Amino acid sequence: MYDSEGTLYGMRNIEQALYSDGYLHAQVDTLVQTSKHKVKVTYCITPRDRYYIDTLRYDFDDDTIYSIYKGDSANSLLRRGMPLNLNVLSEERSRMVKMLRQKGYYFVNNDFITYDIDTLRGITATNVTLRMHRPEMADSSRSYTRQRFRQVYITQFRTIGEDSVAASNSALTNYRGIMFDTRQLKVNKRVLLSHTAINKGAVYDETDVQNTYNNLNSLPVVKFTNMQVVPVTGTDSLLDCNISLRYNKTNSIGLEVEGTNTSGDLGAAVALSYNNRNAFKGSEMLTFKLRGAYEAISGLEGYNNQNYFELSAEGSLRFPTLLLPFLSIEKKKEMKALSQVSLMYNTQDRPEFHRRVLTAAWTYTWNRTNTPRWVHNFDLLSVNYVYMPWISDTFKKDYLDGEDARYSVLRSSYENLFIVKTAYSLTYNSQRNNANGGNYSQSLTQGVQVKAGVELAGNVLYGISNMLHRGKGDNGCYNLFGISYSQYAKFDFDFVRSLLLNDRN
């Protein structure tokens, strides 16, 4: 439906976008053409001249703040000769505030920074002055004073009317500088401490606060985190941080039922799962899953059975940290990490064959908080065992026993397989803002992803075979306890780059 107010609203939005991009005298008109029950709206745009920044000046009311800003000038978004883009000016304001709050200036906000734009010097040249002055209503004693944490509290989230921690100091216990509320503390203090990036006596850093919020929210047992930074009365440089946690339900059970139709063959599956989000009081995620499936297969000739059965059981235990000896809490604070142990067994009985699959893995994943683009994955041990106890004679004759090359490829998929491997991979994922020219305000990213990995299999088993003086079997492969195992070394490198085609692609 045609809406005249919507048309006017769109015209004003276009004018505002042009104005923000340096076209200060742009004009947008609308041409409305009516034909029977249809309306055609045409926006006529006259951009006129675009304004550029000719001179940049700075006016700070505090010399220390000005020195900090000049020391960070390499990261500034403002340059002489760039288009007068109001969105970029706003982004520079936000960048300055973030930078200062990372250095302890908690009370600095966007209201401290304004711009004076003089367009009288020439037709398109402007003189821009960046001013940073303390607002009249701001606290003069705190505004430009670096703040430190006097104390950090970690408590359970309480609704209005419940006792606060401050009202019950007897419930508080000091653990390595952090005050914990011992009432209904569900998670081990050491785990919470390793996920807390802020410390007693540390200079306030906006990044550390955000990392603490993200780290605690990543714990499976934590539903959400609330953080409050409170100025300490009687001082001009101290803050208290109150962290309250709302917990998830520890246990959950799930039931899934599904029906299948594979080329007209009907079947059904049922799965039962159990999750424990705090298995050993350290927010460990314990998961078990049982699944059974059945399918009635039709149209097969030469087979004694027409039914397909599948049963599987799997379990995993995930730790929110690196399970390594001699790793201090300080080191754990510097990284986001997961350790996981998993085990899965699957049995399949088909008319053509029977298959048994066993997999087990012990893996680590981590990245440092100061270099989040680099992600490490280390499979300390990964076991894959496939056993084919029975294959139908009809299936062998039709698909496996031919001399053609295609049979050899298919045959390898129905042989016993035993792989014990160790693997490591490093992934770098970068997103850089390459919006050069005039379109500074948009988040134009060109992503680069680089992945390198190495995988070694069979070395441990080969060493055991040598210790036991086991040679190759009749099939020409090394065996351990009658089972042939794979040996190989694999290296891979992957490079991906996303190219920016235009503003939308």
Q: Is the pLDDT of residue 161 over 70?
A: no
Per-residue pLDDT at 163 exceeds 70: no
Report the CATH fold assignment for 148-247: Ubiquitin-like (UB roll) (3.10.20)
Q: Reply yes or no on whether the pLDDT at 403 is more than 80.
A: no
DSSP state of 185: -
The pLDDT score that the predictor gives to residue 435 is 39
Residue 363 has a pLDDT of: 98
pLDDT exceeds cutoff 60 at 378: yes
Query: What is the predicted pLDDT for the residue at 355?
Result: 96
Mean pLDDT of the chain: 89
Contacts 24+ apart (CB under 8 A), 183-188: 183/156, 184/156, 185/156, 186/156, 186/221, 186/247, 186/250, 186/278, 186/281, 187/219, 187/221, 187/222, 187/245, 187/278, 187/281, 187/282, 187/283, 188/281, 188/282
Q: In the predicted model, what is the mean pLDDT of residues 41-65?
A: 94
Length, in residues, of the chain: 505
Average pLDDT over every residue of 119-138: 88
Compute the average pLDDT of residues 346-362.
96
> What is the per-residue pLDDT for 28?
93
170 has a pLDDT exceeding 80: no
Predicted confidence band at 505 (pLDDT cuts at 50, 70, 90)?
A: low
Of 331, 313, 311, 314, which is closest to residue 322 (Cα–Cα)? 331
Question: DSSP code of 171?
Answer: G
| pLDDT score at 401 | 82
Q: What is the pLDDT of residues 246-282, one digit of tens each?
A: 999 999 999 999 998 888 889 999 999 999 999 999 9
More confident residue, 169 or 390: 390
State pLDDT tens for residues 404-450: 767 777 888 888 889 999 999 999 988 643 333 344 334 445 678 99
Residue 167, pLDDT above cutoff 60 = no
- Any idea which fold 52-132 has? Ubiquitin-like (UB roll) (3.10.20)
The confidence band for 14, taking pLDDT boundaries of 50, 70 and 90, is very high
Q: How far apart are CA 265 and CA 299, in angstroms?
A: 9
pLDDT of 452 higher than 60: yes
- The alpha carbon dihedral of 425, 413, 263, 389 has a sign of negative
pLDDT tens track for 301-333: 878 878 999 999 999 999 999 999 888 999 999
Q: What's the confidence (pLDDT) of residue 442? A: 40
Let me know if the fold of 52-132 is the same as that of 148-247: yes
Q: Give whole-number Cα distances, 448 to 440, 472, 501, 504, in Å.
A: 20, 46, 15, 18
In sequence order, the 6+-apart residues with CB closer than 8 A to the CB of 351 are: 297, 300, 303, 304, 305, 306, 307, 308, 392
- Stretch among 4-18, 51-65, 163-177 having the lowest mean pLDDT: 163-177
Residues 6 or more apart in contact with residue 99 via CB below 8 angstroms: 68, 69, 72, 75
Pairing relationship of beta strands 238-247 and 148-156 according to DSSP bridges: parallel
Answer yes or no: are the C-beta atoms of 222 and 133 closer than 8 Å: no
d(CA 200, CA 241): 9
Q: What residues does each domain of the chain span?
A: 4-46, 52-132, 148-247, 315-497
**Is the pLDDT score of 285 beyond 80?**
yes
- pLDDT at residue number 446: 65
Distance separating alpha carbons of residues 194 and 333, to the nearest angstrom: 5
